[in-house]
Amino acid sequence: MADDLLKTLTAQFKTKFGTAPAVAAHAPGRVEVLGNHTDYNEGFVLSAAIDCGTFFLAAPAADGECRLHAADLNQECRFAVADPAPSKVMSWANYVKGVLSGLRGKGPVGKGFVALFGGNVPLGAGLSSSASLEMCSGLALARLYGLTVAPLDLAKIGQSAEHHYAGVKCGLLDQISSLFGRQNALVMSDFRTLAVETVPLGPEACFLICNTAVKHSLVESEYNERRERCEEAARHFATVLPHPVKHLRDVSWAELEAHRATMDPVAAKRATHVIGENTRVLKGRELLAKHDLAGFGKLMFESHESSRTQFENSCRELDVLVDAAKAIPAVLGARLSGGGFGGSVVVLVRVGDAAGVAAKLAAAYKQALGHSCTTMIIRPSDGARLLAG
């Protein structure tokens, strides 16, 4: 299917620009499996690149203009290579403009480009379609301009595009997962050292994504607010603990328990979630090493409960799905995935159970809410790569 998509996009590129692409890259979306809102607290996350993503095809332009065509929207944005400023019109182009701006900091970027992108990451599902666009455009444009950019630097360029061009003060999870994914495995990231490891999941397990298609109106500001509360909580711990505290990563569960009662109650809840998540990720890695999928799944349920009660980034639609998942014996675990406040639930299942569980969850959702959610089966997949050029 990915091959067919690439063929179609290549044909569209030729028709549109009258030339063949000189470079092409693919980058997958990602699913966050365990470790929620821990990345910007310098904590731990287990995630996976998924088997859907974005292709980006490009060729050099003769002058300083960039023509960027979004195949799925059939829209084209034009801008000067020397001035990739963000814009409210065709805001989808901001991700690529942000990446171009980051690449300009890595070396000379001469003329403009013509480019076309398209993919199959569902938008608004919490599967990081934006990071997948950033990473494939980054790989392709770096090659086009002959720039050498290390993967972690590319991840930081994508993050900076989110901060300065999309207004979301995200961590590095989405970009790192898209770059470092491996087939049938999870990506274990330490967001303090930026060390990334591969943790085998095994071919017998896969994930179901149940997309509520809910996007609560203030997602970006809610996200940024949670980040500020976490930073505030870290500053509080720095004043009461005998050792240095820069981020919530520096606070142990025992220290949290000792100080919770004297903290601002909201800050205490946010810290409880983040520190609990870090603990669960480390435990989860150990369970996966012992192939204990059921034990790992329990941690996913605990993670969701912590989101619901401590971080308050869940919503009724997500809770309905997780509750329904708990009632299905074949489900190993389920939780919200990504920023929260809508988006998707990720469900861990054995491959043979996936279709049956998906049907049951869809029916339970419809019955509880009167409208449908969409479900898809996803497999942990390889990370971003250059395809040609």
Query: Which positions touch ligand GLA (CB under 6 A)?
Result: 32, 36-37, 39-40, 170-171, 173-174, 338-339
- Is 174 known to be catalytic? yes
Contact 177, 44 (CB under 8 A): no
* Pairing verdict, β 113-119 and 23-34: unpaired
Contact 157, 44 (CB under 8 A): no
- For ligand GLA, give the closer residue by CB, 37 or 249: 37
- H-run or E-run covering 187: strand 185-190
366: its two tokens: 């419809």
Q: Closest separation between CB of residue 168 and ligand GLA, Å?
A: 6
| Residue 39, amino acid | D
Q: Closest separation between CB of residue 335 and ligand GLA, Å?
A: 11
Residue 377 is classified by DSSP as E
- For ligand GLA, give the closer residue by CB, 109 or 376: 376
51, 63, 153, 174: the catalytic one is 174
- For ligand GLA, give the closer residue by CB, 101 or 178: 178
- For ligand GLA, give the closer residue by CB, 21 or 126: 126
On the CB side of 44, how many CA atoms lie within 13 Å of its CA? 17
Q: Closest separation between CB of residue 143 and ligand GLA, Å?
A: 25
Q: Can you list the positions of beta strands (E) in 7-160?
A: 23-34, 44-60, 65-70, 75-80, 113-119
CB-based closest residue to ligand GLA: 170
- CA 136/CA 143 separation, integer angstroms: 11
Q: Closest separation between CB of residue 174 and ligand GLA, Å?
A: 5
- CA 374/CA 372 separation, integer angstroms: 7
Residues tagged active-site = 174
